[in-house]
Amino acid sequence: MKYILFGIFGAMLSSWVQAADLTGRWVAETQAPNGDKRQTVFELKSEGDRLAGYLVSTQGDDWIADGKISGDSVSFTVIGDFYGVERRTQYTAKITADGLLFKMGGGARELLAKRVSTEAPKNAPPAAKLVLPAPSGAVRPNGLAKTPPMGWNSWNKFQRRVSDQVVREVAAAMAKNGMKDAGYVYVNIDDTWQGTRDAKGNIRANEKFPDMKALADYVHGLGMKLGIYSSPGPRTCAGFEGSYQHEEQDAKTFAAWGIDYLKYDWCSASRIFEVSSMPAVFAKMGQALADAGRPIVYSLCQYGMLNVGEWGAKAGGNVWRTTHDIRDTWASMAALGFDEQMGLEKYAGPGHWNDPDMLEVGNGGMSMDEYRTHMSLWSILAAPLMAGNDVRNMPPEITAILQNKEVIAVDQDAWGKQGARVAKNGDLEVWSRQLAGGAIAVGLFNRGAERAKVTARWADLGITGSKSVRDLWAHADREKVSGEYSADVASHGVVMVKMW
């Protein structure tokens, strides 16, 4: 009997000993259609045949649960929040000499993740996520962003390739090519600038940014402003150092560097906090910025979860994302701009704006008609205008879209009243925005596949009488009209007019 027991115990011990140690950071790289590299990151911790950790994505860090290692096979469940709704996804992989080979899409596609470090995940999944009480009061307004912020952001074009040199070249180009004069004054560094913290916990930039203060001084010297990026979680979306438990410290560092804009991205905060804690989590940094001694525009990036318009301004926010990340495609832009902004106009106004994400104009994935629709719709929505292309070398037709001063004037209208859809007939939509001084901006949009006539009727626009009309893309005055205004609109195109 004792030999049988010893054999069973020995087999169990052998199984435990032989279970592969998968602790570390595993990265799988794929290539996007535009040539940019995309990463899927697994941060794993294994104990015997058990596996835990995170799947790091651009919209948060999802938990890895029920993980098991059996021979050369790995299985686990990824649990994530998708706009506040729990989502569970099953993953399986094989341990190979090259890494972890995942079968995706029912086995039709393989994804190879290679280990890049043996460091265990920071802040391992707690037994229960933290729930913070609602803030007791509102963060005092900073008096900034009286009109929607305008500038440039590094992510859409450069992603991980952003550097001190790129930012300097972009800022210099914007100062010379008319972008600054058109109103684009913020030069914003997105993710991947972060290095490690020093012995006192102060955040340091990595080798791509040798002197952040000097970079800010350079940008300021051009008459522009510098923005930066962080996360309320332990890591950013790209896996770099976040601001968790260093909020006040980081805010003071940003102020000392001369930072003028902070994009604060939820991402790995999902490791620590329940979604219901978002208002308190973002208010903590909002208060830290208010106490840092420098005016810094505060941009909340949490994808519109938890009805952010209800509490974003109270958390100190000047801008808050209302959607998931934009892509340089007609389908993505149209869904985010047309469909996901309905009913949000009541939350926008001077100092606090809805943000359907950055501009993709000039990145090559859409036609000129589609890019004009993109620019027109964002301006009617009173959205921040953050260019995301390579502004160092823009063809004339892209410059003409991004620097159309008549369209920009709609976006920057001093009244700050966000527009809305007033009529829809299949793929044909009419949007309008009331402007200071009694004028009105009207967008006649054709989301269909064929050219079509689009009509804006006075009853839908809430106006009466005869109106003067200015075509903002043709830069031409039209004849006075009354009752309605019609235009022939290209597929996926727009005719945008100002009436008074």
Q: Which of 66, 325, 369, 427 is catalytic?
A: 325
Q: Is the pLDDT of residue 431 over 60?
A: yes
What is the CB neighbour count within 10 angstroms for residue 2?
A: 6
> Residue 11: pLDDT above 90?
no
- C-alpha span between 171 and 152 (Å, rounded): 9
Report residue 174 CA to chain centroid gap: 22
What angle (nearest 5°) sits at the alpha carbon of residue 220, between those of residues 214 and 226?
A: 80
Full set of structural domains in the chain with CATH: 16-117 (2.40.128), 150-414 (3.20.20.70), 421-499 (2.60.40.1180)
Which residue carries 């390739």 as its tokens? 161
Catalytic residue, chosen from 190, 191, 265, 411, is 265
pLDDT category of residue 83 using cuts at 50, 70 and 90 = low
Give residue 17's pLDDT: 45
Active-site residue, 265 included: yes
pLDDT tens digit sequence for 281-326? 999 999 999 999 999 999 999 999 999 999 999 999 999 999 999 9
Question: To the nearest whole number, what is the mean pLDDT of the chain?
Answer: 91
Closest CA to 490 of 423, 428, 401, 404: 428
Give the model's pLDDT for residue 15.
41
Query: Given pLDDT bands bounded at 50, 70 and 90, which one contains residue 34?
Result: low
Report how far Cα 262 is from the mean position of its chain's Cα atoms.
12
Amino acid, res. 277? S
Active site residue 325: yes
In the block, tokens 């200071």 appear at 436
pLDDT at position 373 is 98
Q: Where are the alpha helices (DSSP H) in 19-154?
A: none
CA-based nearest residue to 387, from 349, 413, 353, 358:
358
pLDDT of residue 124: 62
Q: Over the stretch 202-239, which tens digit does the pLDDT of each residue have? A: 999 999 999 999 999 999 999 999 999 999 999 898 88
The average pLDDT across 463-482 equals 97
Q: What is the mean pLDDT of residues 24-46?
A: 81
